Structure 1
Amino acid sequence: MATALVQQGVQVTDLWPDPCEPRDATIKLAGPEPLALVWDEVTGWRYAPYVTGHRGVRTKLVTSEITYIGDRVLPAPWAVARDFVTEASRPAPPSYRSYLDFADGLDDQLRGYDTGSHPYGRELYDSLEYTRLIEPLLARTHRTALAA
């Protein structure tokens, strides 16, 4: 994703994932009024002026200025970059799925999503930290799904 933004002339200053309920990721952008693109596994991508946040702390954006982009929970990086640069938007927050959805294929998509183009890369999803954080969530979700 960061590479696709840079290819469109957007300056990325920082990025970080947060694998918690729901999983999300932030890409912080340079500018006189810093913006951030934030992805989560329920609503997909959105952007707005950046307020605060860092790895392990949910990113806060200027709520009144949030713009949703993309046509699915995990669109192609080039499509997100295009929508951001051209200021394409969706009028309301979408809800593509619940973070409690289990085995719907999103984890497989995440493992293959633009993993070679940023500092975290595939190592994030194969790391002990990610496993330590995500496995209890998946186990709890799986138990809930089995009980239903």
Structure 2
Amino acid sequence: MAVRHVEPYTDEWLRQPFSYVERVVEQLGAEVADWWEGPCDPRDVTLRLSDDGALVWDEESGWRLGRFVSGGLGEHSELAGVRYLCGGLLPRPERVPEALADARAGVGASSAWRPCYRSHRHCRDGFDLALDYYAGTVTA
């Protein structure tokens, strides 16, 4: 496999999560009313849901669900009543809708406890290769 390292804090690095998030948005369909990127440290993305809720993904803790309080492009979103979705830091996009349904129902492995799978400060830990998979930039 050809390994391509993206230099941290470049525009390309900041956009790395978008291909993954776009696939999640496709899986959620009409449930997503809007989505935008947050800042880095850690990189995050907010999905506003059609029911006044929001899903936020960040590169340390994965997906969390809550009632949208505030946020916007380039800002960390604030949520109330947060529950973290099961499935780890980067669950396959087709698994996110089921994890979302579980979190809404309060069942499964979703939790109010914030997991920390990695630190955003570890820029060369291999996580960016997992993001590149969704962008189709990792070749065999």
Q: Same fold (TM over 0.5)?
A: yes
Q: In 2 relative to 1, CA 29–91 (structure 1 residues): closer, same or farther, beyond 3 Å?
A: closer
Higher helix share: 1
The answer for the alignment partner of 2:94 in structure 1 is: 78
Query: Does structure 1 residue 106 correspond to structure 2 residue 124?
Result: no
Aligned residues: 109
Amino acid at match of 2:28: L
Structure 1 residue runs without a partner (length 5+): 117-121, 123-148
User: How far is 1:68 from its partner?
Assistant: 0.4
Secondary structure of 1:54's counterpart equals: coil
Distance in 2, matches of 1:104 and 1:27, equals 26
- Aligned pairs for 1:110-129 (under 5 A) are 110-113=131-134
Q: In 2 relative to 1, CA 85–38 (structure 1 residues): closer, same or farther, beyond 3 Å?
A: same
Larger RCO (alpha carbons 8 Å, 6+ apart): 2
Q: In 2 relative to 1, CA 91–60 (structure 1 residues): closer, same or farther, beyond 3 Å?
A: closer
Q: Cα deviation per residue 1:95-115 (whole Å; 9 max; x = unaligned)? A: 1000111212221222333x5
Amino acid at match of 1:11: E
RMSD of equivalent CA atoms: 2.0
Structure 2 residue runs without a partner (length 5+): 1-23
What fraction of aligned residue pairs are identical, expressed as a percent?
Answer: 37
Distance in 1, matches of 2:68 and 2:35, equals 12
Runs of 4+ aligned residues of structure 1 deviating over 4 Å after TM superposition are none
The answer for the alignment partner of 1:44 in structure 2 is: 62
User: How far is 1:29 from its partner?
Assistant: 0.4
TM-score, normalised to structure 1, is 0.66
Distance in 1, matches of 2:112 and 2:66, equals 14
Q: Cα deviation per residue 1:14-67 (whole Å; 9 max; x = unaligned)? A: 111235100001111012xx10000111111100000111111111111xx100
Q: Cα deviation per residue 1:119-142 (whole Å; 9 max; x = unaligned)? A: xxx9xxxxxxxxxxxxxxxxxxxx
Secondary structure of 1:57's counterpart equals: coil
Q: From the CA coordinates, give the structure whose radius of gyration is larger.
A: 1
